[in-house]
Structure 1
């Protein structure tokens, strides 16, 4: 999904200008490619991957100093509260820089939650239409759900970051108020806004998509236990405690690989013998894990619409996930929808797939078929159609 929206808008002839904080195609980051791969630090490699392919450089402005300052300051953050304060300050500065640079004659803006307020305020003063994407359920909902999880699992890392969160939450409410249209990746996000008394009438659900131009690589055949994969930062928000509880019950039936940053795990704890903590891996290597797996498991407590679900469907993996994951999965067709916070529901779903080979095969075929409607091309079609309708532009 990285840079997907500006690329889609550019290809549709709708993009006047694209603003970002830092990318590999503007200013001094353009020169970093001369560093040999063998000696590139991980941070440089990550920066070089930030290429807005399909977006003309002449239509792109990168605030490189802001982006680089944010990267450097993030490394100094000692607590989640520090990170939240940095996030808030950087988003305010980004908005100010965009407003100062201007709108290049555009009649519409497209922005993202918590980085929108200053931009939309200026845009509305100039009579522009404002679209804002709410990328995850509202912070108030997320905060409430994670606080409940912390009570259930007090030994797991959790920080409320109250002061920074309070201002970010107020910012979200202000953004909903000023936006003409709020795009949501899932019904879970839209319902969260409605539950808080937000403007549900402004919300439009537009599910995402992933690049599926290449056919899925051949899966690794195997005998033995069912192979279960999770992808994402391990911790309370991803429902990792329930993965580990289920894994302990499923010894001999399933093996688990947990891929993602592991800072959210409790220290000094032993994990079930059928669980491998893989840690963070480069995006380019995640496909190897999809080939290894039989099933994706994502019992998330709070998401927007998790990209890993779309990727897994495209790889032909049935998905076991919660409604809170913002999923397009249909229960019993291309995966299973389970209740959040219930490891027993994970056990039941995995046991069924492990014991019913034909069901696993059918769900895998259905997953690959479902993915065809959630390619990047189809996402672009959905997004452009909605925007043109709301902008009163004729669809092509």
Structure 2
């Protein structure tokens, strides 16, 4: 990391800020493949180069799999080969040759379902689906299909797997929860003001429900609220966004460091995240840990239960989203009490060691 340029992407900054202390012997970096991947990410910013970007990203994944395969062929021992969907490729074949159990880690909807949901407002498909058109998603699908078992990060993702023919005992759910470094950065909540404070974090885009959120908020002009967007705003997130940003109650914060995001979450009452399709949105866990009341959809892959931790609204339903936001704004005492309980839930059940313990238990089960 220290040898990379000073100017970094938001994603890389977030990774550095996690401050994970891993021994060097535990890390094998494939810099050529990583560099190719980052070139593809940069090209994606141009709509004219999107197809080329997909091809380069797929090449980076495929090359990574071949490099990992050579390493596995020389060093494999019996046990579990845990790999991320898309990066497996040839390495999965080598691991199976060595008698290892192939455990594929997948963190968003099944590739076929993902492509369908993106084009159908987050709706679940009915019947068989075609192969993905995106070359990256085809590699991810191949890795999933090569697996003996799949580890996913939410019940929502598991539901998309089951819809594509996987059996219940082939897919295990373990929620990632919140890392200790973020928890340590969350400040104590101060005395709450009378008006409601709402926050969105993540990529402010169509997939995250930005157009629906703009429309819902625009229907609530008479109530006292402020709304902050902790995100870069996707230019394709909808025509109404620019007008929405002119409202003096709305503030676009841009990318925030993890420390600043923790402070913002602790300073807001209501976290709104009406996503069309996710894996398991980390920002929701972080908002829960900061004591927020969460309004989201069933497709966000969160642990939020309607009327327990916040509100779960149907995907793409602006009226339901408006109703949920209105209730929260006008019932701040209940919202803040629920927020306190949400924080305690994360601290007691969804920390890093909870995730590690459950994954290690899965390793033992698969190795038996």
Q: Give TM-score, length-normalised by structure 2.
A: 0.85
1: distance between equivalents of 2:142 and 2:3?
40
Work out the number of aligned pairs and report it: 347
Over 3 Å counting, the alpha-carbon distance change for 1:284 and 1:165 in structure 2 is farther
Instruction: State yes or no: 1:140 paired with 2:112.
Output: yes
Instruction: State yes or no: 1:257 paired with 2:210.
Output: no
Which residue of structure 1 aligns with residue 243 of structure 2? 270
Residues 326-346 of structure 1: CA deviation (Å, up to 9, x unaligned): 011122122111111112222
Unaligned runs of 5+ in 1: 1-23, 25-29, 151-161
Whether the 8 Å CA contact 1:305–1:326 is kept in 2: the answer is yes
2: distance between equivalents of 1:122 and 1:237?
36
Equivalent residue for 1:106, pick from 77, 86, 97: 77
Which residue of structure 2 aligns with residue 309 of structure 1? 284
Whether the 8 Å CA contact 1:209–1:375 is kept in 2: the answer is yes
Whether the 8 Å CA contact 1:294–1:317 is kept in 2: the answer is yes
Which residue of structure 2 aligns with residue 62 of structure 1? 29
Over 3 Å counting, the alpha-carbon distance change for 1:217 and 1:326 in structure 2 is same
Over 3 Å counting, the alpha-carbon distance change for 1:350 and 1:164 in structure 2 is closer
Instruction: State yes or no: 1:193 paired with 2:161.
Output: yes
Whether the 8 Å CA contact 1:186–1:205 is kept in 2: the answer is yes
2: distance between equivalents of 1:226 and 1:351?
10
Instruction: State yes or no: 1:354 paired with 2:321.
Output: no
The 3-state SS of whatever aligns with 2:338 is: helix
2: distance between equivalents of 1:241 and 1:301?
11
| 1:187 to partner: Cα distance | 1.2
Whether the 8 Å CA contact 1:301–1:341 is kept in 2: the answer is yes
Alignment of 1:330-345 (within 5 A): 330-345=305-320
Alignment of 1:213-228 (within 5 A): 214=184, 216-228=186-198
Which residue of structure 2 aligns with residue 174 of structure 1? 142
1: distance between equivalents of 2:171 and 2:131?
28
Unaligned runs of 5+ in 2: 123-129
Whether the 8 Å CA contact 1:247–1:275 is kept in 2: the answer is no
Equivalent residue for 1:97, pick from 67, 92, 105: 67
The 3-state SS of whatever aligns with 2:199 is: strand
Whether the 8 Å CA contact 1:81–1:164 is kept in 2: the answer is no
2: distance between equivalents of 1:139 and 1:362?
38
1: distance between equivalents of 2:14 and 2:77?
29
2: distance between equivalents of 1:316 and 1:178?
40
Over 3 Å counting, the alpha-carbon distance change for 1:95 and 1:240 in structure 2 is same
| 1:51 to partner: Cα distance | 7.9
1: distance between equivalents of 2:261 and 2:120?
31
Which residue of structure 1 aligns with residue 125 of structure 2? none
2: distance between equivalents of 1:339 and 1:69?
39
The 3-state SS of whatever aligns with 2:244 is: coil
Whether the 8 Å CA contact 1:84–1:165 is kept in 2: the answer is no
The 3-state SS of whatever aligns with 1:301 is: coil
Please identify, of 89-98 and 378-387, the stretch whose mean Cα deviation from structure 2 is larger.
378-387
Over 3 Å counting, the alpha-carbon distance change for 1:114 and 1:368 in structure 2 is same
Over 3 Å counting, the alpha-carbon distance change for 1:381 and 1:336 in structure 2 is same
2: distance between equivalents of 1:47 and 1:369?
24
Which residue of structure 1 aligns with residue 126 of structure 2? none
